Chain A
Amino acid sequence: MKIDDYFLFIYKYLSKKKLRTLLTSIGITIGVATIFVLVSLSQGLQNYISNQLSTLGDKVIFIYPGVSKGFSSSINGFISNTFLENIQRLPGVQIAIPEYLISTEIYYNNNYGVATVYVINTKYINYLKYDGYQIYQGSLINNNDQCQVDIGYNIYKGNNNPNDQINVGDYINIFNQRCEVIGIFQETGGGFNNEIIFPEGYYKKIFGNINYNYLMIIVYNYNLAYIAINDYINSLKGQSYVIITAKSLESEINSIVGGLTIFSLIIASVSLLISAINILNTMYTSVLERYKEIGLLKALGMDNNEVLFLFLLESGIIGLIGGIFGIIFGYIMSNIAGFIFKSMGFTALQPYISIQLIIFSLLFPFFIGILSGTIPAIKASRIDPMIALRYE
Chain B
Amino acid sequence: MIIKLENVTKIYKIGDSYIKALDNINLEVEEGELISIMGPSGSGKSTLLSIIGCLDKPTSGKINLFGFDILKLSDKELSKIRKNYIGFIFQQFYLFNYLNALENVELITKIANKKNNKAKELLEKVGLGNRLYNLPNQLSGGQQQRVVIARALANDPKLILADEPTGNLDEKSANDVIDILKKLNKEEGKTIAIVTHDPRIAEQTERIVVIRNGKILSDNTTVDEALELLK
Q: Which of A5, A299, A390 counts the most B-chain CB atoms under 10 A from its CB? A: A299
Say yes or no: B103 contacts A12, CB within 8 Å.
Answer: yes
Question: Could you list 18 A-B pairs, sorted by A, with CB under 8 Å?
Answer: A5-B110, A9-B99, A15-B98, A292-B94, A297-B111, A298-B79, A300-B83, A300-B107, A300-B108, A301-B108, A303-B75, A384-B56, A385-B55, A385-B79, A388-B88, A388-B94, A389-B49, A391-B91
Cβ proximity bits A280-304 to B, threshold 8 Å, 1 near / 0 not:
0000000000001100111111111
Say yes or no: B113 contacts A2, CB within 8 Å.
Answer: yes
* CA distance in complex: A5, B103 (Å): 11
B residues 45-64 in Cβ contact with A at 8 Å:
46, 49-50, 53, 55-56
CB of B76 within 8 A of chain A?
yes
Chain B residues with CB under 8 A of A1: 110-111, 113
CB of B80 within 8 A of chain A?
yes
Cβ proximity bits A373-392 to B, threshold 8 Å, 1 near / 0 not:
00000000000111011110
Chain A residues with CB under 8 A of B151: 300
Chain A residues with CB under 8 A of B55: 299, 384-386, 388-389
Q: Told that A293-B96, A303-B80, A389-B50 touch, could you supply 20 new A-B pairs with CB distance under 8 A? A: A1-B110, A1-B113, A2-B110, A5-B110, A9-B107, A12-B98, A12-B99, A12-B103, A16-B97, A16-B98, A292-B94, A301-B83, A301-B84, A301-B111, A302-B83, A302-B111, A303-B79, A388-B55, A388-B88, A391-B92
Chain B residues with CB under 8 A of A390: 46
CB of A13 within 8 A of chain B?
yes
Say yes or no: A299 contacts B53, CB within 8 Å.
Answer: yes
A residues 342-392 in Cβ contact with B at 8 Å:
384-386, 388-391
Q: Which of A5, A9, A304, A389 contacts B46 (CB 8 A)?
A: A389
- Chain A residue at minimal CB-CB distance from B103: A12
Chain B residues with CB under 8 A of A389: 46, 49-50, 53, 55, 90, 163
Cβ proximity bits A1-20 to B, threshold 8 Å, 1 near / 0 not:
11001000100110110000
Which 3 A-B pairs have CB atoms at the shortest separation, nearest pair first? A301-B83, A16-B98, A303-B79
Chain A residues with CB under 8 A of B131: none
CB distance from B18 to the nearest CB of A (A): 18
Given contacts A2-B113, A385-B55, contact A303 B76 (CB under 8 A): yes
Chain B residues with CB under 8 A of A386: 50, 55-56
The number of residue pairs between A and B whose CB atoms lie closer than 8 Å in the complex comes to 74
Say yes or no: A301 contacts B110, CB within 8 Å.
Answer: no
CB distance from A10 to the nearest CB of B (A): 10
- Chain A residue at minimal CB-CB distance from B79: A303
Chain A residues with CB under 8 A of B107: 9, 300
- Chain A residue at minimal CB-CB distance from B95: A296
- Chain A residue at minimal CB-CB distance from B80: A301
A residues 160-184 in Cβ contact with B at 8 Å:
none
* CA distance in complex: A16, B83 (Å): 27
* CA distance in complex: A306, B111 (Å): 9
* CA distance in complex: A390, B107 (Å): 22
* CA distance in complex: A304, B84 (Å): 17
Say yes or no: A300 contacts B111, CB within 8 Å.
Answer: yes
Given contacts A12-B99, A391-B91, contact A299 B110 (CB under 8 A): no
Chain B residues with CB under 8 A of A306: 111
CB of B112 within 8 A of chain A?
yes
Chain A residues with CB under 8 A of B56: 384, 386
B residues 82-141 in Cβ contact with A at 8 Å:
82-84, 88, 90-92, 94, 96-99, 103, 107-108, 110-113
* CA distance in complex: A299, B163 (Å): 13
Chain A residues with CB under 8 A of B82: 299-301, 385
* CA distance in complex: A53, B24 (Å): 89
CB distance from B105 to the nearest CB of A (A): 11
Say yes or no: A304 contacts B75, CB within 8 Å.
Answer: yes
